[in-house]
Amino acid sequence: MEIMDTVTLIKEGPNARGIYDAPTETRRTLRCKVQSVGRSEFYQSASAGLRPEYILQLPSYLEYDLEKRCEFHEDEYRIIKTYIDRTRGAIELTIQRSNADD
């Protein structure tokens, strides 16, 4: 089942001096469709030490700028996998809660 929602993508970049010791953050809030992670994908990911929780679909892959983190429902997540649906031009982001064991 798909549900419309929003996600805030978080991109880290170098600070004004061009170094990453205190990176700057750029945040963008986008509309997305929320999908549950399938049973097969969940167990395959678990065998690799990952714990995917949601798949967020952005309408266009052009909206994704290689962000590694996002905020969804006030929690921070890591983007652990991306998939571009070339037939629709959409991109799926598989996310895992940031505080999940690595």
Tens of pLDDT, residues 12-48: 887 666 666 667 889 999 999 999 887 777 757 766 7
Q: Regarding predicted confidence, which is higher, 100 or 53?
A: 53
Q: What share of the chain is helix, strand, coil (3-state, %, to 5)?
A: 10, 50, 35
Report the pLDDT averaged over residues 62-71. Answer: 95
- Domains (ranges, CATH) in the chain? 3-97 (2.40.10.270)
Cα gap 52→97, rounded to integer Å: 8
Token pair for 79: 């983007």
pLDDT recorded at residue 47: 65
pLDDT recorded at residue 9: 97
With 50 as the cut, is the pLDDT of residue 102 above it?
no
pLDDT recorded at residue 32: 96
pLDDT recorded at residue 14: 74
Cα gap 30→47, rounded to integer Å: 31
Residue 62 φ then ψ, to 5°: -70, -15
